[in-house]
Structure 1
Amino acid sequence: MVLSFIDVASVISGVIVGFVLGLIGGGGSVFATPLLVYFVGVSDPHIAIGTGAAAVAVNALVNLVPRARAGQVKWRCAAVFAAAGFFGSVAGSTLGKVFDGQKLLLLFGIVMLVIAAQMGLTKGAPLEKDVRLTSENARKMAPLLISFGFGVGALAGFFGIGGGFLAVPGILAATGMPMIYAVGSSLVSVAVFGATTAVNYMISGLIDWRISALVLLGGAIGGLFGGALATRLAGHKQALRQIFAVMIAGVGFYVIYRGVLALMA
């Protein structure tokens, strides 16, 4: 079977997304939509969002398994956060589908700049006291998990991104749990948000399943290399986040530039 440029570009896009996710633990999915639109050549931004969301959801589930086996998922906190975010992602993805595609890309570029600032300026949080959602602290913690979860889910659904870069600080703010558990727990939300967005877009026929499968294949390959390199460069994770923050900012400016040109045409 002869592979087309679109097939190869889809796999390469997945490798990039998976590599970043494996290397720094978040932010990789934000590259999915720009890569699908400007590199793979998906003409409809909505199809790019739906296609990317499907791949991101499966990727999150794959990455969740080793985290869960290592005991790095706080299931009660993750479940409440993800459940609230489910309703947010339904609302966000429904609004995103009817929003003008070019304007959506322009807003997405702006969000990429915000993500870059957040990744570049935020330092890894020190480990704090272990936190669990119990009947004693539920009155204080549950409302925070629900409010942050809904907000992150809405943004993830609207822009068709996994939202891990938002879920991690959201979970940290709501619970104060150690960073390693926040990262693991966030994957539950990323899987739920991505799947919800993908189903919503699938209902409207806005997913290219072939491209999504190829992106997922590339993501698995990239994730292996990213995870292996992350182990070797564990002491330089903050520097890596800053490097990728610059990359995200660069892509963000390009997306804004192309969005402005499209709206002026």
Structure 2
Amino acid sequence: MDWPLVIAFGLGVGLLVGMTGIGGGSLMTPLLILVLGTAPTTAIGTDLAYAAVTKTVGGWRHWRRGSVDMTIALWLAVGSIPGALGGVQVLHVLEKALGGDSFDTFLLTLVAGALFVTGIAVLARALFMSSGGERVTIEDFDTRHKVAAVIVGVGVGFVLGLTSAGSGALIAVALIMIFRLTPIRVVGTDVFHAALLLWVASIAHFFSGNVDLALAGNILIGSIPGVWIGSNLAFKMPENALRPTLGIVLLAAGMALLKKAGVADYPVYVIFLVPAAVAVAAYFLNRSRSRRGAQASAHLATNDPATEH
């Protein structure tokens, strides 16, 4: 095992988690499978174990700096914790039912699907979601908000328990679309909730024999300082500076896993070409959208009676 490389992976992913709240499971699992050759179930369990510690450090830092909406985080956990336990149990049942190469192929395909969904969610969040109407917290957190948080939590928790991917990005999208939180509160609440969820999921995977403690420990050597630094940088970095790139990386990782599983047979360059094409298309679409928005704002300002003398 190339331990310096493992530590470097931990440092890089830890930085991303601290700055954006996403990328922990979505990036580390494919790295363990594709680069280090780790068995899929072990990669998922080990990923969850290191991520639980990493996001606890990040969550604590964000909580200390006041960027966590504790009410939303706890209601999300009400749904996500049982959802994650259900996902781990389904994974165990599928492993017994399929076994061997069939199970590995199925699991790689499943993780690839989760990466595609997560990558698209990250791109949508970074490029297309309006920041209008954002708020630091919800003053009147009523039954509707509680039900929405629990439902989102169940779905995301189940996906996490099954694949280790998606908890950060999918929860972040919900925090923006449903609860309309400001960017820094999205990151803080996302990381804090993920820490609660990941401990439960990782313990369940540990008792299922899916965690390589030595591997997780070496990842943590890099990820703990990474998430510490990233959590501080989150308050200084430009909004959405890294998310589009991260979304493209997730799409490429999903395509690489499909090729490894044998589900899709395409040249290696396609793994880079398709996400790059998506990036270019998204860039020009967002640029066109921004230009139309600026023109509309200028038109309104021109016709505003308050601007006339």
The TM-score by the shorter chain falls in which range?
0.7 to 0.9
Separation in structure 2 between the aligned mates of residue 125 and residue 57 of structure 1, nearest angstrom: 31
Q: Which amino acid is 2:92 matched to?
A: K
Separation in structure 1 between the aligned mates of residue 230 and residue 66 of structure 2, nearest angstrom: 21
Separation in structure 1 between the aligned mates of residue 226 and residue 105 of structure 2, nearest angstrom: 29
1:162 positional shift: 6.2
Contact 2:115–2:165 (CA<8 Å) still a contact in 1? no
* RMSD between superposed Cα atoms in Å: 2.4
Deviation digits for residues 155-199 of structure 1, max 9, x if unmatched?
111112361111112233443333322221122321122112211
SS of residue paired to 1:175:
coil
SS of residue paired to 2:67:
coil
2:127 is equivalent to residue 120 of structure 1? no
Q: Which amino acid is 2:225 matched to?
A: I
Identity %: 24
SS of residue paired to 2:135:
coil
1:80 positional shift: 1.0
Question: Tell me, which stretches of 5 or more residues in structure 2 are unaligned?
Answer: 95-102, 266-309
1:261 positional shift: 6.1
Change (3 A) 1:168 1:248: same
Separation in structure 2 between the aligned mates of residue 249 and residue 79 of structure 1, nearest angstrom: 30
Contact 1:92–1:158 (CA<8 Å) still a contact in 2? yes
Partner residue of 1:198 out of 198, 202, 216: 202
Q: Runs of 4+ in structure 1 displaced over 4 angstroms? A: 224-232
Change (3 A) 1:259 1:214: same
2:246 is equivalent to residue 250 of structure 1? no
Partner residue of 2:218 out of 214, 220, 225: 214
- Give the match for residue 111 of structure 1: 114
The aligned runs of 1:50-199 (5 Å cut-off) are 50-99=45-94, 100-123=103-126, 125-126=130-131, 128-132=134-138, 134=140, 137-161=141-165, 163-199=167-203
1:52 positional shift: 0.7
1:228 positional shift: 6.5
Change (3 A) 1:242 1:107: same
Deviation digits for residues 91-115 of structure 1, max 9, x if unmatched?
0121123332321111211221222
> Which structure has the larger Rg?
2
Question: Tell me, which stretches of 5 or more residues in structure 1 are unaligned?
Answer: none
Change (3 A) 1:208 1:129: closer
Separation in structure 1 between the aligned mates of residue 251 and residue 26 of structure 2, nearest angstrom: 11
Contact 2:258–2:264 (CA<8 Å) still a contact in 1? no
1:133 positional shift: 6.2
Separation in structure 2 between the aligned mates of residue 62 and residue 81 of structure 1, nearest angstrom: 19
Separation in structure 1 between the aligned mates of residue 87 and residue 139 of structure 2, nearest angstrom: 27
Separation in structure 1 between the aligned mates of residue 69 and residue 232 of structure 2, nearest angstrom: 25
- Give the match for residue 271 of structure 2: none
User: Which range moves more in the overlay, 97-106 or 195-204?
Assistant: 97-106
Q: Which amino acid is 1:242 matched to?
A: P
